[in-house]
Structures are given as structure tokens and as C-alpha cells.
Amino acid sequence: MMRTPLLIAASWLVALPLQANPLQDLRDTLGRLSGHTPIKALVQLKSEGRSSDGDETETNTGLASVQLEDGPQGLRLSYPQAALTRAAQEDAARATNPKAPAPTATGLRGLGFSEVRELSRAAENLRRDLANAVFKAERSEPWQGQPARVLVFDVPQVKKDKYVKKYESTLEVWLGADGTPLASRARQRLEGSAFVVISFEMQNTEEQVFAVVGERLVATQRITTNSGSGAGQKGSGRREFTLQPQS
């Protein structure tokens, strides 16, 4: 009995293994690492912002720490009384001198619920980043001396803005041999114009280092940098978050 070319092709397709889906594999891994293993940690923020309007440059720094507890009962933040006292004093000084330094007050404002949650629940945060991502490429690249592979994604603009004329966003995720995320790097760049004569551009980069605590993926370090210009003004900033698990 002769087999038609169509039947032969069908048998080949059945014999071939299914193609791996790196994006879905990563999402599945993040699902397994979204557990609520209890964790206690010290979270610190160091920040620096710089803005200029051409004639004058202003710098604003921040430095503060909070205690974190996260588990099945929820997320709790503890702000040390000494830090709260210093922040109140700095805010009082700025009431009379807007340029007075206020590193503690600035740092504590940057250590809110959203920022800290994204560190202690890194799998949830990374899954949100991947919600609209499109797999682009894969490459081998060691991470801190250990073998790793990097998944590269394009992240399209979800909410369109009529003033944005050019938008680029990519996400890279370093994975260990078992598929566990080791680090990530997100880059975003946009250019645009408003009211014909006003043009602007912005660049943002976010780098993270991950660790696994029980069934939970945490970000032990996150560094964000940004810069932008438009309407005769320029600005840049850097924020470094660190999470140190405690017993």
C-alpha cells in the first residue's frame, strides 16, 4: 500500500518534538516562585536626582532603610523612630529653606508599599513585566561566573500616547541551568514632541539581581537610572534598592 505525500508529512509532524516556548516556560517558573514563604529583611534605598533648567542645577539625594516582614499574613513595613525623627526635622528645615538637604525624608518617601513589594515579591513583578512581552532571541552568556542563558523580549507600548513618536523597550532575563531567574535588565527609550515646537526624549534602565528564599523569588538588588530632556530642561536620576534577608 502506497503512502501519499500528505500522510508521510503528517507522520513526520507527529514524530517531531514540540518546539519549546521560552516565554511560557519562564512564566511557569515564575508561577512556582510566587509562594508566600515568610521572609524578614532590611531594605535600603540610596538615590540621587539631578535637574537643570540651563542656568541652575539642583541635586536631591536620599538614604533610608526600613524593616520588612512578608508572608501568608501579608506585607508589613517598619519605619525606625530615629529615621522618622530625622525626616521630620528635614521637612521642617525645608519649610524655611526649600534647598535644605533632606536625605532621610527623601529616602523614606521612596520606600513605599509598591517599591518594597516589588522586591519581596519579585516573581509577581516580573510576570507583570512579561504580560505583553514578545520573545525575540536567546543567547548564552555567563552570569557572575556561572553558566547562564539570556532571553530577550520586545515590550510594545500598551497605552498609546499621541505625543510619543518613537518608542523602544526591551527586557533581558538571565536564567540559570534549572531555569531560575538570576538577573534582569529592562531598557526603555522614547522620543516625542508636543505643540510642534517642544521636543523631548527619555531613557530608563532597570537592572535586578534575584535570589530564591524557599518558594519565593526576591530581588536582592535593583538599580534604576533615568535621564531626559525637553523644553530647555534636563534631568537624571539613580536609585539603588537592596534587600538583605535576615534570620
**What local confidence, expressed as pLDDT, does residue 18 receive?**
41
Q: Confirm whether 14 is domain-assigned.
A: no
User: Which secondary structure element, helix H or strand E, spans residue 208, and what is its range?
Assistant: strand 198-213
- Is 2 inside any structural domain? no
Question: Is 9 part of a structural domain of the chain?
Answer: no
Which among 234, 186, 192, 191 has a CA at the least distance from the CA of 207? Answer: 186
Q: How far apart are CA 38 and CA 32, in angstroms?
A: 15
Would you say residue 5 lies in a domain? no
- Residue 90 structural domain: 21-246
What is the rounded distance in angstroms from the CA atom of residue 187 to the CA atom of residue 193?
21
Query: What distance in Å separates the CA atoms of residue 247 and residue 237, rounded to the nearest whole number?
Result: 33
pLDDT in tens, the chain (247 residues): 444 544 444 444 444 334 468 899 999 999 999 999 999 999 999 999 998 877 788 899 999 999 999 999 999 999 999 999 999 999 999 999 998 999 999 999 999 989 999 999 999 999 999 999 999 999 999 999 999 999 999 999 877 777 788 889 999 999 999 999 999 999 999 888 877 667 878 999 999 999 999 999 999 999 999 998 877 788 899 999 999 999 8
Residue 173 near residue 180, CB atoms below 8 Å: no
Q: Would you say residue 3 lies in a domain?
A: no
In a domain, 148, yes or no: yes
Count, residues in the chain: 247
Q: What pLDDT was estimated at residue 116?
A: 95
Give SS3 for 201.
strand
Round to whole Å and give the CA distance between 130 and 50: 31
User: 30 with 184: CB under 8 angstroms?
Assistant: no
pLDDT at 100: 94
CB of 209 closer than 8 Å to CB of 220: yes
Does residue 10 fall inside a structural domain? no
Number of domains in the chain: 1
Asked whether residue 16 is domain-assigned, the answer is no
